[in-house]
Amino acid sequence: MNKEHVVIIGGGFGGLYAARRLKNAPVDVTLIDRRNHHLFQPLLYQVATGELSPADIASPLRHLLKDQANTRVLMAEVTGFDTANRQVILRNGTVRYDTLIVAAGAGNHYFGNDHWGQWAPSLKTVEDATEIRRRIIAAFEAAEVASDPDAVRSWLTFVIVGGGPTGVEMAGALAEIARETLRHAFRNINPSDARILLVQSGDRLLPTYSPELAAKAAAALEKRQVEIVTGARVTDLGPQGVIVSHAGQDEAIAARTVLWTAGVKASPLGEALAEATGAPLDRGGRVMVEPDLTLPGHPEIFVIGDLAHFAHQGDKPLPGVAQVAIQQGQYVGELVKRRQRGQQMPAFHYRDKGNIAVVARGAAVAEVGRFRFAGLLAWQLWAYIHLVHQMELENRLLVLVQWVWNFFTRSRSALLITNRQESAQTSATMDAAPGRWVYDTGLWPRLE
Amino acid sequence: MNKEHVVIIGGGFGGLYAARRLKNAPVDVTLIDRRNHHLFQPLLYQVATGELSPADIASPLRHLLKDQANTRVLMAEVTGFDTANRQVILRNGTVRYDTLIVAAGAGNHYFGNDHWGQWAPSLKTVEDATEIRRRIIAAFEAAEVASDPDAVRSWLTFVIVGGGPTGVEMAGALAEIARETLRHAFRNINPSDARILLVQSGDRLLPTYSPELAAKAAAALEKRQVEIVTGARVTDLGPQGVIVSHAGQDEAIAARTVLWTAGVKASPLGEALAEATGAPLDRGGRVMVEPDLTLPGHPEIFVIGDLAHFAHQGDKPLPGVAQVAIQQGQYVGELVKRRQRGQQMPAFHYRDKGNIAVVARGAAVAEVGRFRFAGLLAWQLWAYIHLVHQMELENRLLVLVQWVWNFFTRSRSALLITNRQESAQTSATMDAAPGRWVYDTGLWPRLE
């Protein structure tokens, strides 16, 4: 006779920790993901800024779960659900389940302007990170060969939309690249002339953090000449730059590089689940879950992580952070195990272990319980936490080596263009129309 | 007054070592490359097989040359030459030179069947490596979900065309992936069932090595169940597999993954040079150079590395290997410096430091002068050489960490799909037509 078949959708923190908790449980587990790897999201911005390589923070799911004999990994795309027949519908085929754990996460949200994505990439996948890395390098390269001063300025202007942790981390890293990493690397331009704007719609950075800490982060960024514009909205966006609406005024900012870290939108699988089960969604498309993370009337279906809206603790829903996803994954894994033994489980309760965000090397802000601190100590705590949470020992080793190295050398040896060179080309010479400029030895005197 | 302007085309071994040799020389140097990084080609196959990350073997050219004040790096594509006016023609603009060093290298050659490239990628760029890595993973993933045994077999059949060092290294690494790295990672298939064929047109592997050593390499591969087919040519190739013509017989081999390491063809810039200067080309499109690596009648133009055909030493032209490019780069840099001082330089003479090829971890074959040896010692020598020749200390460190780690764990944590997931998807479910297969708990008994 068949064992209970637990199907987990998504190999992020939630799905992976749920699968891990089911190791040695008397169930068959199938983890479905369209990617072949688990990604350590919190460090993705370091790939986008050339500090780490994708493989340093990504681990093949099969490798992570290969010693878990009751678990199989299926690389496939889920398109919907047939909850009446307890089936997950794949692009090619179906998977039957007894228990379903949906941890499909969230993507980025351009507030109804999805076409903005082509000019303002966001940071969710490894491809996003290498594309952003490419754009940053290509911008400096283009500035180096641009003849017209306005063109140079717009290539050296970087706009980051969104003042949450990712926006703050990207702004700090960009400042470091411009002011330190690329120093002496160019001959026509001075990279530290780069202008870095951080546009935040709210009245302060890091809205989920305490005001004191947010202020410290802002100060640390300003010390690195990052221009912070709060209470400002991006009302339009294109290849030439952005329109920022601030205090009723519209300002056009010419910028060739715009990065998007603003809105978050739940995976479309949330809607698919709502259609199939009638479960309610919140405005962000997240599924409203019961205190035990199941769907109303569907004790066999769980939703966890960024896709879940958990409103049974505190006055606002739990934030879409790794900690929540990890604890929910562990909770659901445990619950499934206990059910097998006919035992009960209390409602899910989130233990907030604190917030921490990095501004730059040696500078972070943290709040743990009642404690709030900033600077080197906070940064060391951040580094420690992010090292020990790496899935593989090898990754810890590699990340550590590069952090130590870069801390002292300020270098970023992963600052590479590894997408197809055509695209790199185009951007690098975009504003140099054929014949419009001649680069020859006559230029040299201009450099002395 | 302007200094002599030395323009170097290509940031490979030849171009980079030429630029380095000109450090502190009283000349202005411009290094032009369409990529932003120097690539350590000899280890590229380890990126393709998930052992290393691109950034471990690639270094930004600007970073490598940033302390060389007389040198600038220009990221641009060279389309031709106007030697009468001493100009290099870029896709957008021109660069005037006094001395020109062309080190544009070589690409792969499909013997007039360039369309084969879409099914049988070759290994020249970082993109090639990550694409090959993607195909290798996707093949095992597709085999895992394929229902039809023939489909499984063709997904688990890997054909490597070309028995030179790269082909041997790829075959050995693939064997390791299938027999060791992926062990226990799948549930429906056994990765070690994978069939790995190495097709060589000549009568033995490693034709440029001594027969004894080639035999040792072949034995080491066969020990790892690599099927070696010598005296065989691939006469046709497509998405379903290859046609191998062997001893007058045509055999069709169903294989979803084919890798191309056979022919090499010089950069098209060779032809452009020939048109501009009347310099003769060999059949491979390489430029025949004078004993001092200049072009006939053009003492101001040098051609080095894989693009150069140097026929003034020994009975055959110098091989297209890193050692030759490095020594020629150093030679030309030195020659340019001496010319400034009105001094002469003897003709270029290549010092062969030996050959070495890796079959698998702990197994390599080497010949240094009269000495020939194989096994662990040869492998250690290989590892040492490839570490010390890394351009950056950090890369040495990273590569060493991963080699040591992987040597003991046999893991390959860089075995990731980092291209756009769509493509990964398609291959992963290619032969699973909608509805044709149903993957459910009913499958589980099949696994016991």
One-letter amino acid identity for A185? A
What pLDDT does residue A354 have? 87
Q: Cβ–Cβ of A36/B417 closer than 8 Å? A: yes
CA dihedral B192, B193, B199, B204 (to 10 degrees): 60
Name the token pair of B208. Answer: 């440029």
- Give the catalytic positions of A in this structure: 169
Size of chain B, expressed as the number of residues it contains = 448
How far apart, in Å, are the Cα atoms of A187 and each of A80, B133, B413?
54, 37, 38
Q: Is the pLDDT of residue A434 over 70?
A: no
In chain B, what residues touch A185 (CB-CB under 8 Å)?
A: 60, 62-63, 66
Name the token pair of A265. Answer: 């939108």
One-letter amino acid identity for A329? G
What pLDDT does residue A421 have? 41
To test the contact with chain A by mutation, choose from B44, B413, B429 the residue with the greatest count of A C-beta atoms within 10 A, namely: B413
Find the mean pLDDT for residues B159-180: 95
What pairing do the DSSP bridges indicate for beta strands A355-360 and A363-368?
antiparallel
What pLDDT does residue A271 have? 97
- Round the average pLDDT of chain B to a whole number and report it: 89
Q: Is the pLDDT of residue B202 over 70?
A: yes
CATH 3.30.70.1450 fits B114-262+356-447, yes or no: no
Q: Cβ–Cβ of A416/B60 closer than 8 Å? A: yes
Catalytic member of B4, B51, B77, B169: B169
Contact in structure between B419 and B134 (CB atoms under 8 Å): yes
Cα distance between residue A195 and residue A122, in whole Å:
20
Chain A's closest residue to B85, CA to CA, is: A440
HSE (CB half, 13 Å, CA atoms) of A7? 26
What pLDDT does residue B435 have? 28
The dihedral sign for the CA sequence A313, A319, A323, A324: positive
* B40 pLDDT tier (thresholds 50, 70, 90): very high
To test the contact with chain A by mutation, choose from B183, B429, B438 the residue with the greatest count of A C-beta atoms within 10 A, namely: B429
What pLDDT does residue B429 have? 35
* Higher-confidence position of B357 and B232: B232
Q: Is the pLDDT of residue A352 over 60?
A: yes
Instruction: List all residues 6 or more positions away from A93 whose beta carbon is below 8 Å from its beta carbon.
Output: A76, B145, B429, B432, B434, B435, B436, B437, B438, B439
Please tell me whether the interface predicted TM-score (ipTM) of this complex is above 0.90. Answer: no
3-state helix, strand, coil in chain A (%, to 5): 40, 25, 35
Q: Among A2, A55, A395, select the one facing B444 at the smallest CB separation.
A: A2
Least confident of A332-341, A413-422, B224-233: A413-422
Contact in structure between A416 and B55 (CB atoms under 8 Å): yes
Q: Is the pLDDT of residue A435 over 90?
A: no
In chain B, what residues touch A398 (CB-CB under 8 Å)?
A: 398, 401-402
Chain A's closest residue to B50, CA to CA, is: A55
How many DSSP H helices and E strands does chain A contain?
A: 13, 25
CA dihedral B84, B85, B90, B92 (to 10 degrees): -140
Q: Is the pLDDT of residue A139 over 50?
A: yes
What letters, b where the CB count within 10 A reaches 16 and e where it falls short, cover A359-396?
bbbebbbbbeeeebbbeeebbebbbeebeeebbbebbb
Q: Among B58, B74, B94, select the one facing A145 at the smallest CB separation.
A: B74
What pLDDT does residue B434 have? 29
Whose CA is closest to B285, among B302, B272, B304, B276?
B272
Q: Tell me: the pLDDT tens digits for A103-127?
A: 999 988 898 899 999 999 999 999 9
CA end-to-end distance (rounded Å), chain B: 82
CA B19 and chain centroid, separation: 22
HSE (CB half, 13 Å, CA atoms) of A178? 26
What pairing do the DSSP bridges indicate for beta strands B37-39 and B58-60?
antiparallel
What pLDDT does residue B419 have? 62
- Round the average pLDDT of chain A to a whole number and report it: 89
CA A264 and chain centroid, separation: 10
Find the mean pLDDT for residues B245-260: 94
* A145 pLDDT tier (thresholds 50, 70, 90): confident
Q: Is the pLDDT of residue A448 over 50?
A: no
Q: Is the pLDDT of residue A443 over 80?
A: no
Question: What does the radius of gyration of chain B's CA atoms come to, in whole angstroms?
Answer: 23
Phi, psi of A104 (to 5 degrees): -85, -5
Q: In this structure, which topology does domain A4-34+76-108+265-340 adopt according to CATH?
A: FAD/NAD(P)-binding domain (3.50.50)
CA B148 and chain centroid, separation: 35
Chain B's closest residue to A181, CA to CA, is: B63
Question: What does the radius of gyration of chain A's CA atoms come to, in whole angstroms?
Answer: 23
**Does the active-site annotation cover B169?**
yes
Q: Among A35, A72, A421, select the one facing B187 at the smallest CB separation.
A: A72
To test the contact with chain B by mutation, choose from A36, A78, A182, A393 the residue with the greatest count of B C-beta atoms within 10 A, namely: A36
What pLDDT does residue A397 have? 83
Extended strands (E) in A294-385: 294-295, 298-303, 308-309, 355-360, 363-368, 371-375
* B411 pLDDT tier (thresholds 50, 70, 90): confident
Q: Which residue has the tokens 């009568």?
A: B203
What pLDDT does residue B420 have? 52
What pLDDT does residue A447 have? 26
Q: Is the pLDDT of residue B446 over 80?
A: no
CA A236 and chain centroid, separation: 23
What pLDDT does residue A1 have? 52
Cα distance between residue A194 and residue A175, in whole Å:
8
What letters, b where the CB count within 10 A reaches 16 and e where it falls short, cover A57-70?
bbbbbbbbbbebeb
Min Cα distance B97 → chain A (Å) is 7
Cα distance between residue A110 and residue A130, in whole Å:
20
pTM of full prediction above 0.80: yes
Cα angle B46, B51, B54; round to 5: 65
Percent of chain A with pLDDT over 70: 93
Domain A4-34+76-108+265-340 identical in fold to domain A114-262+356-447: yes
Name the token pair of B227. Answer: 């099927």
Instruction: List all residues 6 or more positions away from B130 whose beta carbon is below 8 Å from its beta carbon.
Output: A418, B47, B48, B54, B418, B419
Name the token pair of A279. Answer: 């479960």
Q: Is the pLDDT of residue A234 over 90?
A: yes
What pLDDT does residue A419 have? 63
What pLDDT does residue A420 have? 52
Q: A-B interface: how many C-beta pairs under 8 angstroms?
A: 236
Contact in structure between A61 and B416 (CB atoms under 8 Å): no
Q: Tell me: the pLDDT tens digits for A4-56?
A: 999 999 999 999 999 999 999 999 999 999 999 999 999 999 999 999 999 99
Q: Tell me: the pLDDT tens digits for A201-215?
A: 999 999 988 899 999
Find the mean pLDDT for residues A368-392: 86
Q: Cβ–Cβ of A402/B401 closer than 8 Å? A: no
Where along chain B do its domains lie?
Answer: 4-34+76-108+265-340, 114-262+356-447
Min Cα distance B321 → chain A (Å) is 23
Q: Tell me: the pLDDT tens digits for B378-399?
A: 888 888 888 888 878 888 888 8
Cα angle B243, B246, B252; round to 5: 25
Element (H, E) at A34: none
What pLDDT does residue B424 have? 35
Min Cα distance B72 → chain A (Å) is 6
In chain A, what residues touch B56 (CB-CB under 8 Å)?
A: 53
Cα angle A106, A108, A113; round to 5: 140
Q: Which DSSP state fits B164?
A: S
Percent of chain B with pLDDT over 90: 69
Element (H, E) at A282: none
